[in-house]
């Protein structure tokens, strides 16, 4: 887990402020300055928690109010720990993995940077809509518990019986009943689809068709849900048809199964009447999906009476599994739906981000705010130009760097279409133990005026699965030219030191370093 998120999570626990993992994670990871103490502080403000980031001397360490978040430095890495308790000689804290530790005060002060975040709660300190979120969580936990109990009860009853429940009796009525279940189940699936994607053009075209037809008005009204919005009638309808269909198949279309199903269909009749009343008199709009389901259930009731199924003996020992079949779809959907909505939201954000990042004006404005090259690159490395190219790209790379190899075909594609001029610099040195020097000397010794030759050589090196210099050198034999490249390597190395190149590949576009918001893969979208 992210260190900032982990620290904030433990901090909220110690402050006894209720939260949900999803909201906390989204708030911190979505902060423009993440990872930082500011991302944690701004997130705490969403919980109505006042916080203050300060830097103090070690002599005032004992004055810190616990709990608080402190910054530590371990082996050059900055982390946030959650301080739990301070005594005269000991310190209790949660590390970056939320494990509780205890250390001497002197030992802890060695890693503490002096930075800390203190906070103060009040009566209003809580997450937005936390009551509703926790109620939904309790509802899911209740469904899990009830389903587990019913399943265990059904197993305990039926696995001790040796006889088979019911006989297989396929009649015209049972076949019709089965077809009705399929139609109802299909309508139930569309209701779930509508629940997460009501703006879908296909659904909207079906759900409209007159002044009185409006699925949105019906399914999104307050009358279309139970238990404070935790259970929609659409989900209840889907669960009804899936449970009865599964039960019907599970018990081989037997007469005893039909008895329980018939009674269930008959008991739903009041629901049909209430639904029709609200659509006709209260909402004054009709939902096509609701009409289909109502028609199916009415037809089921008719078959139940026509076939006399309600009169047959009912297998009460199957009642636990029957109820469990009703609850399991509800439970499953409660778990799956947030994941689907989250994925949908992620896709929306990705599309929006892609639109922004693909705008060349956005890139150009961000470039002006990034690091600018301070020294000239004229005569350094390998330069491949195109006529009318708008962008000049400098790539600082390592011949054995994996990310550099992945970046090569992308830049090669931009070169091919004529969008960029490319200058390749290397971080090699002339030291004997620097294995980078040999391939770099070879690159520089190849006739760089021959555009196709140098491009082919770079392709051969970077596209190879295993980078073996001896194999590469045989393809481009030299006659003493390698010795003439040392001065060029020294010049590139000096340039890298002046520009403080710390990693490869480092890219500069028109003299400015590629902003951290962009990856090399993004350039295919914005520069072409």
Cβ pair 453, 446 in contact under 8 A: yes
DSSP state letter for 514: P
pTM listed for this prediction: 0.51
According to DSSP, the residues that pair with 103 across neighbouring strands are 91
Radius of gyration of the chain (CA): 34
| 3-class secondary structure, 303 | helix
What counts of helices (H) and strands (E) characterise the chain? 20, 13
Range(s) for CATH 1.20.1440 in the chain?
A: 168-341
Q: Say what the pLDDT of residue 188 is.
A: 84
Mean pLDDT of the chain: 83
Q: Say what the pLDDT of residue 159 is.
A: 42
Cβ pair 438, 478 in contact under 8 A: no
Q: Say what the pLDDT of residue 201 is.
A: 60
Architecture of domain 363-527 in this structure: 3-Layer(aba) Sandwich (3.40)
Tell me which H or E stretch contains 90.
strand 90-94
Residue 508 C-alpha from the chain's centroid: 31
Q: Say what the pLDDT of residue 69 is.
A: 93
CATH for the stretch 3-121: 3.90.70.10
For residue range 369-422, what is the model confidence (pLDDT) as tens digits? 999 999 999 999 999 988 888 899 999 999 999 999 999 999 998 898 888 999
Q: Say what the pLDDT of residue 163 is.
A: 38
| 3-class secondary structure, 150 | helix
Residues contacting 126, CB < 8 A, separation 6+:
17, 18, 47, 48
Q: Say what the pLDDT of residue 166 is.
A: 41
CATH for the stretch 168-341: 1.20.1440
Q: Say what the pLDDT of residue 77 is.
A: 85
For residue range 19-44, what is the model confidence (pLDDT) as tens digits? 888 888 877 877 767 788 988 998 89
With a cut of 70, which residues of the chain have pLDDT below it? 1, 32, 151-152, 154-171, 199-202, 204-205, 209-210, 229, 252-254, 347-348, 350-352, 448-449, 528
Range(s) for CATH 3.40.30.10 in the chain?
A: 363-527
Q: Say what the pLDDT of residue 116 is.
A: 92
Q: Say what the pLDDT of residue 333 is.
A: 83
Range(s) for CATH 3.90.70.10 in the chain?
A: 3-121
Q: Say what the pLDDT of residue 32 is.
A: 66
């Amino acid at each position: 887990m992210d260190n900032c998120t982990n620290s904030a999570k433990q901090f909220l626990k110690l402050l006894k402020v209720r939260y949900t993992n999803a909201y906390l994670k989204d708030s911190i990871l979505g902060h423009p300055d993440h990872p930082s103490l500011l991302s944690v502080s701004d997130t705490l403000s969403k919980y109505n928690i006042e916080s203050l980031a300060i830097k103090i001397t070690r002599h005032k360490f004992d004055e810190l109010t616990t709990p608080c978040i402190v910054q530590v430095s371990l082996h050059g890495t900055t982390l946030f720990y959650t301080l739990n308790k301070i005594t005269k000689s000991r310190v209790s804290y949660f590390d970056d993995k939320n494990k509780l530790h205890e250390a001497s005060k002197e030992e802890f002060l060695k890693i503490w940077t002096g930075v800390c975040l203190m906070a103060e709660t009040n009566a209003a300190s809580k997450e937005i809509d936390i009551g509703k979120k926790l109620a939904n969580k309790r509802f899911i936990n209740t469904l899990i518990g009830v389903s587990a109990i019913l399943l265990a009860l059904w197993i305990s009853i039926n696995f001790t019986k040796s006889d088979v429940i019911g006989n297989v009796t396929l009649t015209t009525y049972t076949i019709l009943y089965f077809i009705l279940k399929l139609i109802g189940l299909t309508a139930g699936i569309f209701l779930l689809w509508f629940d997460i994607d009501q703006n879908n053009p296909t659904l909207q075209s079906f759900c409209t068709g007159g002044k009185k037809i409006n699925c949105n008005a019906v399914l999104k009204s307050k009358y279309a849900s139970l238990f404070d919005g935790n259970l929609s009638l659409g989900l209840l309808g889907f669960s009804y048809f899936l449970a009865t269909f599964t039960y019907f198949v599970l018990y081989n279309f037997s007469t005893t199964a039909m008895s329980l199903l018939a009674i269930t269909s008959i008991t739903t009749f009041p629901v049909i009447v209430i639904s029709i009343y609200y659509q006709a008199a209260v909402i004054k709009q009709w939902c096509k999906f609701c009409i289909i389901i109502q028609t199916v259930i009415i037809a089921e009731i008719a078959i139940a009476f026509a076939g006399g199924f309600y009169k047959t003996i009912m297998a009460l020992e199957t009642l636990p599994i029957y109820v469990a079949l009703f609850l399991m779809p509800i439970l499953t959907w409660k778990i799956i739906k947030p994941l689907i909505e989250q994925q949908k939201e992620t896709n929306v954000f990705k599309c929006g981000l892609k639109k922004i990042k693909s705008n060349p004006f956005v890139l150009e404005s961000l470039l002006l705010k990034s690091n600018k090259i301070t020294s000239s690159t004229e005569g350094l490395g390998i330069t491949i130009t195109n006529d009318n190219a708008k962008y000049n790209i400098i790539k600082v790379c390592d011949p054995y760097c994996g990310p550099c190899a992945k970046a090569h075909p992308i830049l090669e594609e931009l070169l091919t279409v004529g969008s960029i001029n490319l200058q390749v610099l290397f971080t090699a040195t002339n030291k004997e133990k620097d294995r980078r020097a040999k391939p770099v000397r070879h690159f520089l010794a190849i006739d760089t005026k021959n555009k196709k030759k140098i491009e082919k050589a770079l392709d051969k090196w970077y596209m190879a699965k295993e980078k073996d210099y001896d194999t590469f050198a045989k393809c481009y034999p030299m006659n003493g030219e390698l010795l003439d490249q040392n001065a060029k390597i020294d010049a590139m190395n000096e340039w890298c030191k002046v520009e403080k190149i710390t990693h490869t590949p480092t890219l500069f576009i028109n003299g400015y370093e590629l902003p951290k918001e962009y990856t090399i893969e993004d350039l295919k979208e914005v520069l072409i």
